[in-house]
Amino acid sequence: MSSYGLKALVYTSKRKKRIRTGRGFSIKEISEAGLTLSEARRLGIYIDVRRSSSWPENVEKLKNLHSSVASSNSLKEEAEKSEK
């Protein structure tokens, strides 16, 4: 499984506010992007169950991935139909 080079961004503690790459996407971010947990796992997206926050940057990344995968799947289906 590959995660398409997708990394979640997380913000560190309140004192030293900085951005770093996280372990995975939160369940809230995945659901806001319109994916189910099983779809996310099938796509190879890492899920961090310890995180409860949702950042708009991460949701946008997931939406872009979902739309690109959906469009590539529809192209494959059209190619298979044209071969028949």
pTM listed for this prediction: 0.77
pLDDT of residue 73: 75
Residues 6+ apart with CB under 8 A from 43: 3, 4, 35, 65, 69
* Residue ranges for the chain with pLDDT beneath 50: 1
Rounded distance between C-alpha atoms, residue 23 and residue 55, angstroms: 14
CA 45-6-8 angle, 5° bins: 85
Q: Decide if 3 is inside a domain.
A: no
Q: Is residue 29 included in any domain, yes or no?
A: yes
Q: Count of residues for the chain?
A: 84
Q: Is residue 74 part of a domain?
A: yes
Give domain status of residue 4, yes or no: no
Q: Is residue 77 part of a domain?
A: yes
Would residue 57 count as lying in a domain?
yes
| C-alpha distance from residue 54 to each of 29, 70, 79 (Å) | 5, 23, 37
Domain extent, residue 25, equals 9-83
The total number of structural domains that make up the chain = 1
